[in-house]
Amino acid sequence: MKDQTRGSTITPRFSGPRTGLNVEDIKQSLIDNLFCGMGRVPAVATRNDLYTALALTVRDRVLRHGVHTIESHGKQQARRVAYLSAEYLPGPHVALNLLNLGITDQARQAVSELGYDFDALLEQEEEPGLGNGGLGRLASCYMDSLASLQIPAIGYGIRSRSGT
């Protein structure tokens, strides 16, 4: 990132509770997201509030990895696959992202230590509904395969105002 006022490069901080992978960092990030991101305190937070705070906590860690990947591909001048699909049907994101990050156990422990039911929070997630079946599932499987093979790729979709 370039700072236009000084011409220097700004290096984002990728450590600490905001993106850390241990139990304490995940707990702190969840509470910070609940309070600072949503304006809720644990005493009045609904299950959906807690799910959203968990999703934001996971998102921060996914973004950390995404930025690292973009930087790596940029340095290597790697070619990327672009996949266009009218729809994607990826399924629930939070549990899958925790699994892919290798921190499901840490997240489960963090949520439990805060006094909440981890599985009940995951049940709050609704299907994204970005399609109606075969084509969307195929597109998502194709993208998952590219990721598994570590092939740089980006998926493009079509978004309409009416949501159809």
Q: Residue 52: give the domain boundaries.
A: 23-156
Cα 17 from Cα 60, distance rounded (Å): 10
pLDDT, tens only, 52-109: 999 999 999 988 877 877 787 778 887 888 999 888 877 788 998 899 889 999 999 9
Q: Is 17 among the domain residues?
A: no
Name beta bridge partners: 2: 9
**Token digits of residue 137:** 């599932």
Helix (H) or strand (E) holding 82: strand 81-84
Q: How many domains does one find in the chain?
A: 1
What predicted TM-score, i.e. pTM, was given to this entire model? 0.75
pLDDT, tens only, 88-101: 877 788 998 899 88
Q: Is 161 among the domain residues?
A: no
Q: Is 125 among the domain residues?
A: yes
Q: Is the dihedral of CA 35, 17, 21, 80 positive or negative?
A: positive
Q: Is 2 among the domain residues?
A: no
